[in-house]
A and B are shown apart, each in its own frame.
Chain A
Amino acid sequence: MGNFMEWLDRRFPATQVWNDHMAKYWTPKNFNFWYYFGVLSIVILVLQIVTGIFLTMHYKPDVTLAFASVEYIMRDVPWGWLIRYLHAIGASAFFVVIYLHMFRGLIYGSSREPRELVWLIGCVIYVALMAESFMGYLLPWGNMSYWGAQVIISLFDVIPYVGPALSEWIRGDFVVSDATLNRFFAFHVIAVPLILCVLVFLHIVALHKVGSLNPDGIEIKENKDKGGIPLDGIAFHPYYTVKDTVGVVVFFIIYLGVVFYWPEGGGVLLEKDNFTPANSLQTPPDIVPLWYFTPFYSILRASTADFLVVLGSLTAIAAIATPFIKTKRSNKIAAFVGYGVIAICLFIFDAKWWGVVMMAMAIVVMFLLPWLDKSPVKSIRYRSLPFKIAVTIFVLAFISLGYLGMHPVSALSTIQAQTCTVLYFAFFALMPFYTTWGKTKPVPERLT
C-alpha cells in the first residue's frame, strides 16, 4: 500500500489533494445545524444522478409512451417504484436543502468578502437546479407536466420583438409537443446535470481557497499557532466527516420516511393532476407549479394593472423627492433619473410584462447580496435589531408567497401577494440602509 501510494503520488497529487481538502483542511470547530446542508446537497446530487440513470434505462421520451413508461417503472420494473419515488421526492428534498443552505449564507454573512464568488457560483447552481427540475417535471408527461410547461414557456412571449420566436425556439414547436419532450429529456439527463457537476466543483474549489466562515462570522485564519494552523480550526477529516455522517443519517430518516410513508406529500410532492396523461384539450382546474417555484409564481401573478399604478406613483414621488435628500449632487441626479425611468416604464409596459420582469428580478437580486449587506459584522449573533427584523419579515413574506402561489387567486390573496412582493424586494433594496442602523454587539476575538 505504502509503495503504491508513493508510486501514485509521483504521478498524481493524490495524497496532496487528500490533505489539502480533507485531512489537513482546517475547519472552524463550531459548525452548527446550518452547516449540514452543503454536504447534504452533494449527497442528493449524487442520489439524483444515480436514480436518474436507472430511470433512464426504462423511461421513454416519446409523447405516446412516456406516461405509460413511468407507470411501467412503478409496477413492472423491480424496485422501479422505489427508484422513481427517490428521484421525484429527491427533487423536492434538494430544494428544501438548498433553501436552508442559502438561508445560512444570509444570516451568517457567508456571502460577503472574501466569499462573494462562492455565493455567486451558488446562485448559478440554484438557477441551473431550477432549470433541471422544470425540465424533469415535463418528462412523466402528466397533465400538470404539460400545462405547467405550456404556461411557463409562454412567459417568454412577453419579451418585446423576440419573445414569441424565443418561446417557439425553446419548445421546438408552436405548442409543447414531442419535440419539446425530446429536448427537455436531453437537457435533463445530460446537459444540465453536467453543468451542475462542474458548478458544484467550482463552488467547492472557491470555498476551499478562502475557507469556511462559521456561526460567529469571524475568520479563524486570523489566529494561527506557530505551525500556521488556525487555533480554532480542526481537520475536516475525521472530525467533520463523522459529524456530517450523523447529519446524513438524520436526513435519510426524514427523506426515506416521506418516500415510504407519504410519497404524495399531500399532493404537494406528487401533484394529483399528474396522474392523468397530458391532454391538450383539458386544462387542470388550477395550474400550480411545484412548491419550490411558487414564491416566484406568486410574484408573477401579483403584477396587476392596479399594482403597477401604485408602484408607478410611489416611484414617481420618490423621483420628485430626490432633490430634497441631503447627498452629493451626482447621487441626486442618478437617483432622479433612475426612479424616473422606472416610473415611466411602470406606466408604459403592461402588467404581464412586469410580472415576468419582477419574477426574473426576484432571482437576480439574490446575486447582489454580498454587496447590499453593509453591516460592520457578519453573523446574525452580533447584528443589530433592524437586520433581525428585516430577515424575519423576509422569511415570512417568502413563505407566504410560496403558500399563495399554490392556490388560486382571489381579490384578497392578490393584495396579500402584492404586499409580500413589496416586502421581498424591500428586503434587498433597503438592505444597504438598515444593515447600518442600530447598535451591533461586540464581536469576539476567538470562536465561542
Chain B
Amino acid sequence: MKLSNSIKALLVALPILAVAPNTFAAGAESLVLDSVHIDSRDTESLQRGAELFVTYCLSCHSAQYMRYERLANDLDISLEKLSQEMMFTTDKPGDLMIAAMPEEDAKEWFGVAPPDLTLVSRLRKNDWLYTYLRGFYLDEASPNGWNNSVFENAAMPHALYELQGSQTLVGHIEHGVEGAGDAQAEPQQGQKLVGDAIFELQKAGTLSPTEFDTAMRDLVNFLSYLAEPAQLQRRAIGPWVMGWLVILFVVSYLLKKEYWRDVH
C-alpha cells in the first residue's frame, strides 16, 4: 500500500533530518582530543594520581569540596603518609583541600585565579583533561613562556615541566579544517602527536614520553575520582541493588501469575 510506504519513508527521514545539522556542526568547531581509558578500581593508579595532584597542582589550585581524610580512606592511604607527604597547608585530615596560594595573589600573578579543580573532570571531561595536560609547549609570545594546544593562551604555566621536559609545537595534522598553514600529514620520527598537535621534545624531563602519558592517565583518573568520590560506592553497591531487584522481579512476577490464573 502506498500510504504505509510513505509512513516508512517519513519514519526514516525525520530523525535523519534532525541529526544532520549536528554532524555538520561538530566538524567545524570541536577540538581533536585523545581518549583516555581510566579505571576507578585501579587504586594504585589513583594513589599515584593523588600524589601528583598534591605535589604539582595544589600549590595553585584548590579542591575546596574535598577533604583529605576522605581521600586517604577511599584510596587506602595511611594517615601517616597523608600528613607527612601529602598535606602541606594544614595538619587536620578533616580539612578541605585548599590551595597554598591565596586567591588574590594568584590573580595578581596569573591574571586569572586558578579555578577550583574538584569538579573539573565533570565540567571538562576526561579526554579534554588528558589532552590538555599533555599539550603544554614553549611559546615566547606568551607572558609566562608557555602555551597550550587545546586551551589557547591559558594563563597556567607548565606545572609538570620537571617531569615532561619542554616541547615545541611543530604543527597540526590535517583534519579537514580550513588552511592551517602549518598542516602536515603525520608526525615524523621523534615527534609526538597530542590531539591534532605535533610536538618535538626540546629538553627531556625525568620521565620518558610514554611514562609521562601514563602519569597523566593516573592524574586524570584521580581528577575523575575527585569530581565524584561517590562513584566508588555506586559501583560497589550497584550489583547488589540490581541483583536484589531482579529477585524481587521474579517473585512479584510469580505472584502476579498466581493471582491472575482465574482471569480469562
In the bound complex, what is the Cα–Cα distance between A379 and B231 (angstroms)? 46
Verify if B263 is at the interface (C-beta below 8 Å from A): yes
Instruction: Note all chain B residues with C-beta closer than 8 A to A420.
Output: 14
Give chain A interface residues in 381-398, CB to chain B under 8 Å: 385, 389, 392-393, 396-397
Task: Report the stretch among B98-106, B162-170, B243-251 that lies at the interface.
Answer: B243-251
- CA of A173 to CA of B139 in the docked complex: distance in angstroms? 46
Q: Are B21 and A410 in contact (CB under 8 A)?
A: yes
Q: How far is the CB of B16 from the nearest CB of chain A, in Å?
A: 10
**Bound Cα distance from A420 to B17, whole angstroms:** 10
CB under 8 Å from chain B, chain A span 46-78: 68, 71-72, 74-76
**8 Å CB interface, B235-264 against A:** 235, 237-238, 241-242, 245-246, 248-249, 252-253, 255-256, 259-260, 263
Q: In the complex, what distance in Å separates the CA atom of A273 from the CA atom of B119? A: 11
Q: Is B22 an interface residue, CB under 8 A from the partner?
A: yes
In the complex, the number of residue pairs spanning A and B with C-beta atoms less than 8 Å apart equals 122
B21 to chain A, nearest CB (A): 4
Q: CB of A190 within 8 A of chain B?
A: no
Q: How distant is the Cα of A404 from the Cα of B259 in the complex, in angstroms? A: 46
Given contacts A29-B263, A416-B21, contact A72 B65 (CB under 8 A): yes
A74 and B228 form a contact (CB under 8 A):
yes
Query: Residue A439 at the B interface, CB < 8 A?
Result: no
CB-CB contacts of A421-437 with B at 8 A, as 1s and 0s?
A: 00000000000000000
Cβ of B249 and Cβ of A246 under 8 Å apart?
A: yes
CB-CB nearest in chain A for B64: A68
B251 CB to closest chain A CB, in angstroms? 9
Decide if B259 touches A238 in the complex (CB within 8 Å). yes
Cβ–Cβ contact A400 & B17, under 8 A: yes
Given A234-B263, A246-B256, A263-B234, check contact A389 B3 (CB 8 Å).
yes
Query: From residue B13, how far is it (CB to closest CB) to chain A in Å?
Result: 9
Residues of A contacting B255 in the complex (Cβ-Cβ under 8 angstroms): 242, 245
* B25 contact from A72, A403, A410, Cβ within 8 A: A410
Is B118 touching A71 in the complex (CB atoms < 8 A)? yes
Name the distance in Å between B64's Cβ and chain A's nearest Cβ: 8
| CB closest chain-B residue, reference A255 | B245
Q: A71-B65, A71-B118, A260-B237 known; A242 and B230 CB under 8 Å?
A: no
Shortest distance between the CB of A234 and any CB in chain B (Å)? 6
A399 contacts partner chain B, Cβ-Cβ < 8 Å: yes
Q: Give the complex CA separation of A270 and B125 in angstroms.
A: 13
Set of chain A residues within 8 Å of B253, measured between Cβ atoms: 246
B227 interface contact, C-beta 8 A? yes
A370 CA to B67 CA in the complex, in Å?
57
B20 contacts A by Cβ under 8 Å: yes
- How far is the CB of B164 from the nearest CB of chain A, in Å? 27
Choose among A250, A261, A272, A410 the residue that contacts B123 (Cβ–Cβ < 8 A): A272
The docked-state distance in angstroms from the alpha carbon of A399 to that of B65 is 38
The residue of chain A having its C-beta at the shortest distance from the C-beta of B21 within the complex is A413
Which A residues lie within 8 Å of B237 (CB)? Answer: 260
Interface string of B197-232 (1 = CB under 8 A from A): 000000000000000000000000000000111100
Least Cβ–Cβ distance between A386 and chain B, in angstroms: 9
Complex contacts, A400 vs chain B, CB 8 Å: 14-15, 17-18
Q: Once the chains bind, are B256 and A416 in contact (CB under 8 Å)?
A: no
Q: Are B7 and A392 in contact (CB under 8 A)?
A: yes
Q: B177 in the interface, Cβ–Cβ < 8 Å?
A: no
- Chain A residues near B124: list those with CB within 8 A: 272
Given the complex, which residues of B lie within 8 Å of A82, measured CB to CB? Answer: 230
Question: Is A243 close to B, CB under 8 A?
Answer: yes
Q: Is B133 an interface residue (CB 8 A)?
A: no
Give chain A residues whose Cβ lies under 8 Å from the Cβ of B70.
75
Bound Cα distance from A409 to B25, whole angstroms:
9
Specify which of A243, A407, A408 is in contact with B256 (CB 8 Å cutoff): A243
Size range of the interface on B? 35 or more
* B160 → A minimal CB distance (Å): 24
Knowing A261-B234, A276-B123, A412-B20 are in contact, say whether A407-B241 is a contact too (CB < 8 A): no
Contact of B11 with A by CB under 8 A: yes
B78 interface residue (CB < 8 Å to A): no
A253 x B263 contact (CB < 8 A):
no
Chain B proximity of A261: nearest CB distance (Å): 6
CA distance A288 to B248 in the complex (A): 38
Q: Mark A256-275, 1 if CB is under 8 A from B, else 0.
A: 11011101100000101101
Distance in angstroms from A204 CB to nearest chain B CB is 22
The residue in B10, B64, B252, B263 that gathers the most chain A C-beta atoms within 10 A of its C-beta is: B252
* A325 partner residues in chain B, CB cutoff 8 A: none
Look across to chain B and name the residue whose beta carbon is closest to the beta carbon of A276: B123
Choice from B20, B245, B248, B256 contacting A242 with Cβ under 8 Å: B256
What residue in chain B is nearest A68 (Cβ atoms)?
A: B65
A411 → chain B closest CB, angstroms? 8
Interface status of B175 (Cβ within 8 A of chain A): no
Task: Answer yes or no: B189 CB below 8 A from chain A CBs.
Answer: no
Question: What residues of chain A lie closer than 8 Å to B241, measured between beta carbons?
Answer: 256, 260
The smallest C-beta distance from A269 to any residue of chain B, in angstroms, reads 12
Which single member of A71, A243, A261, A416 contacts B18 (CB below 8 Å)?
A416
Q: Is A371 an interface residue, CB under 8 A from the partner?
A: no
- The residue in chain B whose Cβ has the minimal distance to the Cβ of A263 is B234
Q: Known contacts A71-B65, A412-B21; is A256 also within 8 Å of B242 by CB? A: yes
A245 near B252: Cβ-Cβ < 8 Å = yes
Contact of A392 among B11, B15, B21, B125 (CB under 8 A): B11
Q: List 11 A-B contacts (CB under 8 A).
A: A76-B67, A81-B230, A81-B233, A239-B260, A245-B252, A249-B248, A261-B234, A272-B124, A392-B10, A399-B15, A400-B14
Chain B residues with a Cβ under 8 A of chain A: 3, 7, 10-11, 14-15, 17-22, 24-25, 64-67, 70, 115, 118-119, 122-125, 227-230, 233-235, 237-238, 241-242, 245-246, 248-249, 252-253, 255-256, 259-260, 263
Q: Which residues of A contact B (CB under 8 A)?
A: 29, 68, 71-72, 74-76, 81-82, 234, 238-239, 242-243, 245-246, 249-250, 252-253, 256-257, 259-261, 263-264, 270, 272-273, 275-276, 385, 389, 392-393, 396-397, 399-400, 403-404, 407-408, 410, 412-413, 416, 419-420
A392-B7, A419-B17 given; name 9 further pairs at CB < 8 Å: A76-B67, A260-B241, A272-B125, A273-B123, A389-B7, A393-B10, A396-B14, A400-B18, A416-B18
Considering the complex of A and B, which 5 residue pairs feature the smallest CB-CB distances, nearest first? Answer: A81-B230, A260-B238, A413-B21, A71-B65, A400-B18
